[in-house]
Amino acid sequence: MRRLLNIFRRKVAAPQPASDEERPFKERYLYFKKLLSENNAVLEIMADLEDKRSGEYIFDMNYIRTSCSKLVDSVQNIIVNLDKLSKGKYPDLYFAFAKINSKIEATLTNKTEIPVTDFTIPFDSVTKDMVNSVGGKNANLGEIKNKIGLPVPDGFCISAYAFKRFIEFNELKNKIILSSVDIVDMEGLNKISREAQNLIMQSQIPPDIESSISNAFSELSRKISSRAGSPTASVRSSAIHEDAKFTFAGQYKTALNVKADNVIENYKRVISSLFSPRAIFYYKSKGFEEEDMVMAVGVVEMIDAKASGVMYSRDPTDAEKNDIIINAVWGLGKYAVDGTVAPNVYIVSRDEPRTILEKTTPGQEVMLKCNPKEDVVEVEVPEEIRTTSCLTDDQIKSLADYAIVLEKHYDTPQDIEWAIDEKNNFFILQTRPLRILKEKPVKNIQAITKGYKIIINNGNIACKGVGAGKVFFIKKEEDLEKFPEGAVLVAKHTSPKFVTVMNKTSAIVADVGSPTGHMASLAREYNVPTILNTKIAMKTLEADKEITVDAINGNIYEGRIEELIEAGKRENPFKDTAVFKFLRALLNNIVPLNLIYPEDEKFSPDYCETFHDITRFAHEVAMREMFQVADSPNIKKREAVKIEVKIPLEIYVIDLDGGIKSDSKKITPDQILSMPMNALLRGMMDIEWPGPPPINVKGFLSVVASTAMQPHSEKLLWEPSFAIISREYMNFNIRLGYHIQTIEAYVGDNINDNYIRFLFKGGGASIDRRARRTKLIKEILERVDFDVKRTGDVLDARVTKYDKPNILKKLGILARMTAYTKQLDMTLFNDAMVDWYLKEFINKYYIAE
C-alpha cells in the first residue's frame, strides 16, 4: 500500500508555495481545481470511447490503448488531488483504483489464451465453451451433439494446442511475420501468404501429434464402421474466432472424403489456409492480433449425402418475417453453398404447426458425390429425381424444427448446414449466427422528414439514435416512479437517477446537460437516444403528446414518424469486430456507474467498480471538502479585505486566485473579479433589504440574550461574513439575523464543473415558523432548478451542470432571496403566508428566463 501511495504521490508536483497563513486555503483550492480539470478529462475520454462503441467510426487498438493510458493517468490524478485536498481522508480509493486498474490491465494485455489440452479431442467431450481449444465450428458441433442432442456426424478435433505445438516445433513464429503487412497492398499480401503457406506445407507435423491423430482416427473408424464400410472423413477448419461472433464464412479450406492415410497431409493444407490472402486480410481488417490466428481442425465422419443444403432460421433480408428458409440440393452441400446449381427453396412458417409456405424445385442436372475411393466427384443427377423435391414435406418440417431448436439454444438466428444420408438420417454439419441484413443509411434521414413539424432543433446529442413516445416530464425524483413504459423522458436537467427508467424510456431530452455528464454516459450504456442542452424542451413540449426524437440529426418532431424510427434502427457494420469486442470488454471496467445516490451508504470507495464510480465519488467528496473550507476555525484570523457595499452586511473576502483586482484593504464591488461573488453582490444590491440597517450591536448584546425567542440557543448573529473567492469560485458564509447560510459556487467554462450549493440553517422564530421559511426557500429554489433537501429549519440545496450565464443568473436570484427571507420566519404565521410570499417574490424579484 505504501508503495502504491508513493507512486501516486510522485505523480503530482507540489503546488506553488504560499505564505504559511494562506497555504491551507490556496493549496486546497489548487488541488480542487486540478481535480475538476482531471474530472473533465476523464469524462471526455469516456464519452469519446463510448461514442466509438456506437460503431460509427473505425478505430484501431492503438487508439484504445492511448485513450486508456490517458484515462488511467487522469483517474490517478483525481485520487491524488482528492487525497491532498482532504488530507488523506479516503485512502480506500487507492485500493479501488488498484483493483479496477488491474482488471483493465488484464484486458489490455489479453491475448487469446490457448489452453493446454490433448492434441486431439473427441466430439463426445466438446461443448461451446471450448472455443479456445477446439475452434468455433467444432465447439458448435460438440454443443449440438452433447447439449442439444440433435444429430451430428461423429468426429474429433485436432486442438488449438496442437496447432501451437506445430508452430513452435517448426519455429514458424519467427518465419511468418504479418505485422508489417499492408492489407491494401494485394501483391504484398499474396507474397506473404504464399510464403507462409509454403512454409507450413514443408513443415513436419511433430510425431506426438501425428500419433495422436492416427489413434483418434482409428477410434473414430471403430465407432462409425457400422454406418459406413471403410470410413472416410472431412477435414475442416475450425479457427478460434470462426463461427462465434465473427463469421469467417468460406475463408478456409475444407477437404472432403479423406482416407486415413491422407489426414495428416490435409491437416496441413487446412491450417495453411489460415494464411490465405483473404483470411489474412479478414483478420487484419477486423483488428485481430497475430496471436489470435490459431486454427483447430475438425476431422468429421464423411456423410455421403443424398441431399444437403443450408437453412436459415429467419429470413436474413427481413428478420421481421416469420419464415424459415431452407435450400436443398441433391448430393453434397458444397453445390448449394457455392451456387453451382440452383437449389430447391422451401419457405416454412415459424409458427406451429409448421406449414410449408413455398416450395421451388428448379431442377438439378449435376451433383457432387463421394468418390468410392477418395475425394469427391461430380455426377449426373438420375433422370427420375431431377425435378422432384430433395425432401418430403415431413422432412422439410422436421428440418425446420431443428432450426427453431438451434435458434432458441443460441438465442440468435442461425445459419445452418445440414445433410441427409441415403437412409434418411439427418445431420447438422454446422451452425453459426445468421447475419441479418438490415443496415440502412442514416445520412439520408433528413431528406425523408420533409413535411413533418420540427419542434426543437437545437441541443447536443449525447447518445445517437431515434426514439419516439409520449412526453413525460420529470420534475422531481418521485416522478420517476410513475414513468410509463416507452415514454420520452423530458427534464430540466440531467440526473444519474434517471438510470432507473432507462430500460423503459424511448428517448431522453433535457434543457441543460452535457454529453460528457454522468447521465449521458448511462444513456449510451443503455442505448437511449438522448438530446441534451435543448434549453427549451420543458416549456416547448407538452405532456402526453407524442414526439419523435431524432438524436442523429438533433431534431425533435411532433408526432410519431415511422420512417425516422425505422431509419434509426441499424445494425452496425463494425459491431462484431474484435476491436469492438475488446473495447466493450474494456469499457465494462470504465463506464458503468454504480454509485448513483450520494446519500446511499454504498456511496463509498468500497463500492467503486469502475473508473466512472471513482470519478463521481471523488468529485462529490471534493465538493464536500471545499464546502467545509469556510468553517475552518482560523479563517477569521486571516487577512481579509472588506467590501464597501451598501447592504446591511459586513463582508470580508479572502482571495485565493484572481478574485479581486486591488491591493487595498477596502474594495468596492467593482473591484471584485470573482464571477460568482460578483453575481451574488449585484443581486444583493438589487433588492431593498427589509429591516433595520446594520448597527453597532455591542450595546445590544444583553438585549439580544434576553429577548430572543430561545435566548439560550439562538443569538442574533451580527458578525462579519467571510467569503473565500477566486475568479471562478466562491465560498460565502453569511451570518444574517438568527440564521447561518453558506453559498458555494463554481462557475467555469466547462459546465460539468459548475455548481451552486446552498446551505441554510436556523432562525430566530419558533421552529414551526423557521420550518415555514425553509419551505418557502425550497419552493423558490426548486423553481430555479435546485435539487433541495429540507428537514425542519435546515435546508441543503444544490444545482449542477448549468452553463456560466445560467449559474450567474441563479446566483442573482439566490442573492435576492437571501435578502427577501431575512428574518421573514417571524411573519410566517401559517402556510398560506408562505404561499403569499412565494408569489410576491416571484412577481417582484424572480426574473424569468
Partner 1 sequence: MTEIKKLIIPLTDYPHMPYWATLEEAIVLLNFSHESGFHTVLVFDEFYKLLGMLNWKEILRAINPKFKELSSEKIDIITSWDDNKFKMPIKDFMSPFDITVDAGDDILKVAYLLLQHDIDIIPVKESEKVLGVVRMHDIFHEITGLILQSKK
Stretch that binds partner 1, among 414-422, 580-588, 675-683, 686-694 (CB under 8 A): 686-694
With binding defined as CB under 8 A, does residue 774 bind partner 1? no
Say whether residue 690 binds partner 1 (CB under 8 A). yes
Cα separation, 75 vs 79, in Å, equals: 6
Q: Using alpha carbons only, what angle is made at residue 139 by residues 124 and 299, rounded to the nearest 5 degrees?
A: 65
Comparison of 260 and 708: residue with beta carbon closer to partner 1 = 708
Query: Which one of 249, 704, 759, 794 is in contact with partner 1 (CB under 8 A)?
Result: 704
In which element (H, E) is residue 358 found?
strand 356-360
Single out the residue of 611, 616, 564 nearest to residue 595, CA to CA: 616
Angle subtended by helix axes 2-11 and 61-85, to nearest 10: 100
By CB under 8 A, which span of 375-383, 407-415, 746-754, 765-773 interacts with partner 1?
765-773
Rounded Cα distance between 715 and 705, Å, is 7
Binding mask 159-178 for partner 1 (x = CB under 8 A): --------------------
**Least distance from partner 1 to the Cβ atom of residue 37, Å:** 45
Q: 307-312 and 254-258 as β-strands: parallel, antiparallel, unpaired? A: unpaired
Annotate 650-714 with DSSP letters as a single string: -EEEEEEESSBS--SSEE-GGGB--HHHHHHHHHHHHSPPPSPPP---GGGHHHHHHHSSSTTT-
Q: Which amino acid is at 445?
A: I
Interface segment toward partner 1; rule CB under 8 A; list 59-67, 394-402, 664-672, 685-693: 685-693
**57 near partner 1, rule: CB under 8 A:** no
Find out whether 688 and 744 touch, Cβ atoms under 8 Å: no
Q: Any contact of residue 687 with partner 1 (CB under 8 A)?
A: no
Q: Does 764 bind partner 1 (CB under 8 A)?
A: yes
The distance of closest approach from Cβ of residue 690 to partner 1 in the complex, given in angstroms and rounded to an integer, is 5
- For the bound state, the minimum distance from the C-beta of residue 75 to partner 1, rounded and expressed in Å, comes to 51
If one asks whether residue 708 binds partner 1 (CB under 8 A), the answer comes out as yes
Q: Are 813 and 845 contacting, i.e. CB atoms less than 8 angstroms apart? A: yes
Tell me, by CB under 8 A, how many residues bind partner 1: 25
Q: Which stretch binds partner 1 (CB under 8 A): 494-502, 527-535, 665-673, 766-774?
A: 766-774
Note the helical H segments in 527-610: 537-540, 562-568, 578-587
Q: Of the listed pieces 203-211, 269-277, 311-319, 763-771, which binds partner 1 according to CB under 8 A?
A: 763-771
Rule CB under 8 A: is residue 709 a binding residue for partner 1? yes
Residue 717 touches partner 1, criterion: CB under 8 A: no
> Of 254-262, 321-329, 570-578, 707-715, which segment contacts partner 1 by CB under 8 A?
707-715
Report if residue 668 touches partner 1, rule: CB under 8 A.
no
Q: Quick one: DSSP state of residue 204?
A: P
Closer to partner 1 by CB, 200 or 647: give it.
647
- CA distances for 209 relative to 3, 78, 264, 345, 564, angstroms: 48, 54, 10, 43, 58
768 binds partner 1 (CB under 8 A): yes
Which residue of 88, 691, 720, 792 would you call a contact of partner 1, by CB under 8 A?
A: 691
To partner 1, the closest distance from the beta carbon of 748 in angstroms equals 38
**Residues 380, 385, 386, 391: is their CA dihedral positive or negative?**
negative
- Contact criterion met (CB below 8 Å) for 512 and 754: no
**Amino acid at site 318:** D
Q: Does 766 bind partner 1 (CB under 8 A)?
A: yes
Shortest Å distance, C-beta 695 to partner 1? 9
Stretch of 622-630, 739-747, 762-770, 789-797 lying at the interface with partner 1 (CB under 8 A): 762-770
CB of 814 to partner 1, least distance (A): 22
Site for partner 1 in 718-737 (CB under 8 A): 737
Task: Report the distance separating Cα 435 and Cα 255, nearest Å.
Answer: 26
Q: What is the DSSP string of 4-17?
A: HHHHHHHHSPPPPP
What is the C-alpha to C-alpha distance for residues 76 and 469, in angstroms, rounded to an integer?
42
Read off the amino acid at residue 678: N
Options 18, 345, 833, 842; binder of partner 1; rule CB under 8 A:
833
Contact between 826 and partner 1 by CB under 8 A: the answer reads yes
Residue ranges that bind partner 1, judged by CB under 8 A: 690-692, 700, 703-704, 706-709, 711, 716, 737, 764, 766, 768-769, 823, 826-827, 829-830, 832-833, 836
